[in-house]
Amino acid sequence: MLDFYREMLFIRRFEERAARSYTQALIGGYCHLNLGEEATVVGLISSLRPTDYLFTNYREHGYAIARGIDPRRIMAELYGRVDGVSKGWGGSMHMFDFEHRLLGGYGIVGGQVPLATGAALAIDYRGGDEIVMCTMGDGTTNIGAFHESLNIAGLWNLPIVYVIVNNRLGMGTTVEKSSAEPELYKRGAAYRIEASRVDGLDALAVAEATAHAIEVARSGRPYLLEVVSERLRGHSVVDPAKYRSAEEVASLKEHDPVHTMAARLVAEGISDDVTLAILDQEVLANIEEISAFAEASAFPDVDTLFDYNYATAVPNDSRRLPGQPLFGASTSGAPS
């Protein structure tokens, strides 16, 4: 419980710093935070082996931290700097680290689901013992690729755990107004996939449910896990979340998973208020060091803009920058 709390607290303070950095214009583009989902993130990742694969969506900072990626590199990526996870070209939504088997955050809703299914097929084809975890938001369950992927996984017995992180809002629309069946885990029944629902505000409950789901996947069958975990803020840092009532906001604060876990640690005699306060100060100091590292990192050179378009050289690969002529010499000197 204490280990879970430390990680949850770290993710909380990291995301709060990211929100502040966005207002300071240190982070550009889009930025989606895991605030309120810390118990879900930590519980989900706790049972993965280092060799397992993780695909997620654009709300992935906490998952990258929990997967063991250096948080300095994560913050540097948010800042768009060369020391970032994706060398500054991915930003908040597109982290990728093969060493830690994080195969991307995806900006297209559901874009990760077919790719994760393909990775599970590759594992099965090679006879490996790894599994794939693919997380998504509740809104993803209404796109065609979700159903196509689950159908294939169910037919071909693929080693994958599909995780629906249900924060009850597809941006600003409630699940009840967008899904004829709002208990989203039940969709697994259409493809004869075992499924369950768990309280995402309880890290221990999430860890237990995830361990079972991974066990099923490693035995050769897919699993659908729905984790109900409400976000504390809007869809992104620029969303004021005015679609929530004052009562809903008060309820979110009351059931804040980080505060709830702290209270539980004290109530069960595992820790005390003074120790937890000292821990918080240590985490805050660490986060400031991480932010300073990111801010000191250099911006990537414009000449590297096209370096990772393809894994290998491609004939007639255009490297034309905005404002350059369509025909004529490219920046590399070769015909474009």
Could you give the CA distance from residue 154 to residue 241 in angstroms, rounded to a whole number? 37
pLDDT at 336 over 50: no
Per-residue confidence (pLDDT) for residue 304, from 0 to 100: 86
pLDDT of 194 higher than 90 = yes
What confidence score (pLDDT) does residue 203 get? Answer: 98
Work out the number of other CB atoms within 10 angstroms of the CB of residue 249: 12
Query: Can you give the pLDDT at residue 76?
Result: 98
Average pLDDT value for residue range 298-325: 86
CATH superfamily assigned to domain 2-300 = Thiamin diphosphate (ThDP)-binding fold, Pyr/PP domains (3.40.50.970)
Give phi and psi for 93, each to the nearest 5.
Answer: -90, -15
- Residue-wise pLDDT for 148-183, tens only, equals 999 999 999 999 999 999 999 989 999 999 999 999
For residue range 223-267, list pLDDT tens digits in order.
Answer: 999 999 999 999 999 999 999 999 999 999 999 999 999 999 999
Please spell the DSSP secondary structure of 141-168, one letter per residue: GGSHHHHHHHHHHHHHT--EEEEEEE-S
307-331 mean pLDDT: 78
Q: Which of 37-46, 61-70, 297-306 has the lowest mean pLDDT?
A: 297-306
Nearest to 209 by CA among 190, 189, 195: 195
pLDDT at 334 over 60: no
Q: Give the relative orientation of helices 2-23 and 38-45 as an angle to the nearest 10 degrees.
A: 130
Among 42-56, 121-135, 166-180, 277-291, the range scoring the smallest mean pLDDT is: 166-180
Q: For position 335, what pLDDT does the model report? A: 44
Exposed/middle/buried for 93, CB within 10 Å: 0-12, 13-18, 19+?
buried
Contact residues for 228 (Cβ-Cβ < 8 A; gap 6+): 166, 167, 168, 197, 198, 199, 200, 201
Q: 98 pLDDT exceeds 70?
A: yes
Position 328 confidence tier, pLDDT thresholds 50, 70, 90: low
**Degrees (nearest 5) of the Cα angle 196, 197, 203?**
120
Q: CB burial class (10 A; 0-12, 13-18, 19+) of residue 196?
A: middle
Query: What distance in Å separates the CA atoms of residue 100 and residue 82, rounded to the nearest whole number?
Result: 19
- For the cut 90, the answer to whether the pLDDT of residue 127 exceeds it is yes
Strand 173-174 and strand 169-170: pairing?
Answer: antiparallel
Q: Tell me what pLDDT residue 197 has.
A: 98
pLDDT of 333 > 80? The answer is: no
- Cα–Cα distance for residue pair 162/117, rounded to 1 Å: 9
Look at residue 313 in the predicted model and tell me its pLDDT.
85
pLDDT of res. 329: 56
d(CA 276, CA 270): 10
pLDDT of residue 282: 98
Contacting residues for 297 by C-beta, under 8 A, at least 6 apart: 76, 79, 81, 82, 83, 84, 88
Task: For Cα atoms 159, 164, 167, give the angle at the middle one, nearest 5 degrees.
Answer: 165
Report the helix count and the strand count for the chain, using DSSP H and E.
Answer: 11, 8
d(C-alpha 190, C-alpha 269), whole Å: 45
Q: Domain map of the chain by residue range?
A: 2-300
Average pLDDT over residues 56-68: 97
Nearest Cα neighbor of 34 from 56, 51, 53, 49 is: 56
Rounded to the nearest 10 degrees, the angle between the axes of helix 273-296 and helix 71-78 is 50
318 has a pLDDT exceeding 90: no
Q: Phi first, then psi: what are they for 199, rounded to 5°?
A: -75, 110
Nearest to 79 by CA among 234, 301, 297, 302: 297
Region of poorest pLDDT, from 57-61, 242-246, 283-287? 242-246
